[in-house]
Amino acid sequence: MQQQVLPVDAGAHVAVRRYDPAGAPRASIVIGGAMGVRQSFYEPFAHWLAGQGLRVWTFDYRGSGDSLGDAPLRGFQADLFDWARDYEAVIDAAKAALPDQPLYLLGHSLGAQLPGFLQRPGQVDGLVSIAAGSGYWRENAPKLRRSILYFWFVLVPLATRLWGYFPGRKLKKVGDLPRGVILQWRRWCLNPRYSVGAEGEPALQSYARVRFPVLALSMTDDELMTHAGTRSLVSFYAGAPSAVERIAPADVQARRIGHFGFFREQFSQSLWPSTLDKLHRLAALTAPAAVQHANVPHTTA
């Protein structure tokens, strides 16, 4: 595993880790992380993918994880558009390092939402979305939905005003986030059309530019996202070939998968190997997202 600091824009930078296979890589994969989740969480999965002959890139968005380092988060300037630029900077580096091989995105939650804001989506060959949805509060999982309005209307505004950022680690909610990120995310989550509703026509046009295939994996026991939310997110990629696949714990002889479980090593003999098959299947997706929303068959190991 190699670590580097990648400059992005206006003095900003992101901390990146690259995992190389033993031989010549067959493709590149950029893992886009979930909100408040450090890139180290994806390290076991990244190592495993590299062992299958793929070059894997992970990163921390600016103002988080290794990209923040010891700098104070209070007053740190960043929003979700900045994070999309961070994502694209890593994609650019991955493509430049291996220009003649396919480049795929594997987006966990937020990491499957931000590719809709890429300025150069043509260099991406496909997206596998893991446990991602629109984030609109009415499409949250039932247990979360019962408490989320308190979170958005009381906890987030009050804590962000007091600390100058969202102190998620202290509150045991999401994680520490820059002020601009949490407040923009709040606007998205309170809008029925999520990011494309909150940001309007420019966001719609940005998602519409995406032509790479999108395969979304929705966990039946996800404690945060619902099937409806996943379908909403996929519908934003209106010009892209797409499909949604439901995965239940029973499909892989497990008691639980949930929102984060896919990346745990217990699935290195089940969910992880099926990911390679899903990457191959991306090229077979041909129906536009606006038409195709039927589930593809379950993949079991």
Q: What is the pLDDT of residue 296?
A: 35
**What one-letter code names the amino acid at 273?**
P
- Whether residue 36 is predicted with pLDDT greater than 50 in this model: the reply is yes
Mean of per-residue pLDDT scores for the chain: 92
Q: Output 215 or 298, whichever has higher pLDDT.
A: 215
Query: What sign has the CA pseudo-torsion 191, 193, 199, 201?
Result: negative
Comparison of pLDDT for 211 and 280, the residue scoring more: 211
pLDDT of 25 > 70? The answer is yes
Q: CA geometry: angle at 213 spanning 208 and 217, to 5°?
A: 110
Judge residue 6's burial from the number of C-beta atoms within 10 Å of its C-beta, 0-12 exposed, 13-18 middle, 19 or more buried.
middle
CB 51 within 8 A of CB 93: no
For residue 74, name the pLDDT band (cuts at 50, 70, 90): very high
pLDDT for the residue 101: 95
What was the pLDDT predicted at 66? 94
Answer yes or no: is pLDDT of 295 > 50.
no
Global pTM value: 0.92
What share of the chain has pLDDT > 90, as a percent?
88
Q: Which of 41, 17, 23, 40 lies closest to 94, judged by CA?
A: 17
**122 pLDDT higher than 60:** yes
- Which domains, ranges and CATH numbers included, belong to the chain? 2-282 (3.40.50.1820)
pLDDT at 292: 41
pLDDT at 290 over 50: no
DSSP 48-96: HHHHTT-EEEEEE-TTSHHHHTTS--TT----HHHHHHHHHHHHHHHHH
Structure-derived torsion over alpha carbons of residues 263, 294, 188, 17, reported in degrees to the nearest 10: 30
- Look at residue 299 and tell me whether its pLDDT is greater than 80: no
- The pLDDT tens digits of the residues spanning 259-274 come to 999 999 999 999 999 9
Q: What percent of the chain has pLDDT over 70?
A: 95
Nearest one of 89, 144, 146, 136 to 113, comparing CA atoms:
136
pLDDT at 45 over 70: yes
> Would the pLDDT of 214 be above 60?
yes
Confidence of residue 297 (pLDDT cuts 50, 70, 90): very low
pLDDT tens column, 168-182: 999 989 999 999 999
